[in-house]
Amino acid sequence: MELKDIKIKRNVLLNPGPATTTDSVKLAQVVPDICPREKEFAGLMKGLRSDLCKVAHAPEPEYTSILFCGSGTINIDICINSLVPEGKKILVVNNGAYNSRAVEVCQMYHIPHIDLKSSVFEQPNLANVEKTLKENPDVAVVYCCHHETGTGVLNPIREIGALAHKYGAIMISDTTSSLGMIPFDIVKDNVDFCMASAQKGLMAMSGLSFVIGRRDIIEASKNYPTRSYYCNLYMQYANFEKTGEMHFTPPVQTIYATIQALKEYFEVGEEAKFARHRAVYDAIHKGVAELGFKTVIDPKIESGLVVSVLYPDDQNFTFEKIHDYCYERGFTIYPGKISTTNTFRLCSLGTITVKDIEDFFTVLRQALIDNHIHIPVE
């Protein structure tokens, strides 16, 4: 039997990552053992880094990508601890859980920062961003998550980036749950550094994360305060420039899977891929409405990737029971991330189709019936 003939149970993951993958990506991890210090492997990473720049429309050599071993959160740590100069501040435009995580990184490293909070249910107020920049000329970095995965809100990073540049700051955006799924152009969107991990928009495996950013700023950061050893952007960049390798052991099998995932990404084409994610998102909204569920975010400001659904006001409803019912039948749903409101999330990431969503809502409807939950829910 050949690898391609192996049948792997398919689960439909409606969580915001890791995403449902193709079998060919899964099987790409089954490779002969190789030492990652071999020139052959360094050559693979060189091509991978260039392809990642293409996904973000980041022109080389002005921009480059730097690979790290870890989850998406490692990128937040890396960018914040590495890119704030001595005596300067970072402004975090904060309207959700993942921007709040950036604030926590600032606090852990004792980096001077401004936590510009706003409602998790809305996009940031651009006038407030500009006012804050005008009043704080020592802000050198502006940070904002592109897609706040906890709610599904899509933030106006192009406009925020333009304000950052107007006041002499650089723009960092966490694009972990948007890159490769909705339109993004690092130059046109006024972003100097973006970040993501392989298991989300690229539909590969967990363990590989990457930062894409301006080479001149990375080189300038050599003279910034060194706040971390493992998570230092310049050190990893310099090692790639010198040897073509990660400074420390890379996630070898995940890199092979990511190379295969990128091959499939470019074969499909970004426009077709974006359209599929959008069609799945529309099908989620349709199914939610048919069962009577309410959502918490105005669709006009949603990313088209995450739908936050309110718990129904029914004494028989518990998320755990519904989750377990769906999970046993091959569908994974995910709890919400809004501290003040009980929600669960349905996401259009991964290699899923409209038919998958229709099948899911058939299962969800039966879950409600079997648990004596009134339909339409209220």
Note whether residue 342 is domain-resident. Answer: no
At what angle are helices 319-327 and 354-370 packed, to 10 degrees?
130
pLDDT tens digit sequence for 152-166: 999 999 999 999 999
What was the pLDDT predicted at 6?
79
Assess whether pLDDT exceeds 80 at residue 5: no
pLDDT tens digit sequence for 19-69: 999 999 999 999 999 999 999 999 999 999 999 999 999 999 999 999 999
Q: Which residues pair with 332 in a beta bridge?
A: 13
CA–CA separation, 99 vs 79, rounded Å? 13
Note whether residue 117 is domain-resident. Answer: yes
Burial, 117: exposed, middle or buried (Cβ in 10 Å; 0-12, 13-18, 19+)?
middle
Note whether residue 132 is domain-resident. Answer: yes
Assess whether pLDDT exceeds 80 at residue 2: no
Overall number of domains in the chain: 1
Assess whether pLDDT exceeds 60 at residue 1: no
CATH code at position 220:
3.40.640.10
Q: Which residues contact 27 (CB under 8 A, 6 or more apart)?
A: 3, 4, 6
pLDDT, the chain, mean: 96
Q: Which residues contact 328 (CB under 8 A, 6 or more apart)?
A: none
- Taking residues 16-20, what's their average pLDDT? 93
- Taking residues 175-183, what's their average pLDDT? 97
Note whether residue 20 is domain-resident. Answer: no
Print the domain residue range for 140. 31-253
The 10 Å CB-count burial string (b at 16+, else e) for 315-337 is: eebeeeebbebbeebebebbebb
What is the sign, positive or negative, of the torsion defined by CA atoms of 185, 187, 189, 194?
positive
Note whether residue 68 is domain-resident. Answer: yes
- Report the predicted TM-score, pTM, of the whole model to 2 decimal places: 0.96
pLDDT tens digit sequence for 250-304: 999 999 999 999 999 999 999 999 999 999 999 999 999 999 999 999 999 999 9
Percent of the chain whose predicted confidence (pLDDT) is above 70: 99
Note whether residue 357 is domain-resident. Answer: no
Note whether residue 150 is domain-resident. Answer: yes
Assess whether pLDDT exceeds 80 at residue 335: yes
pLDDT grade, residue 125 (50/70/90)?
very high
Percent of the chain whose predicted confidence (pLDDT) is above 90: 96
Assess whether pLDDT exceeds 60 at residue 344: yes
Q: Residue 377: what residue type?
A: V
pLDDT grade, residue 340 (50/70/90)?
confident
Note whether residue 67 is domain-resident. Answer: yes
- Taking residues 312-323, what's their average pLDDT? 95
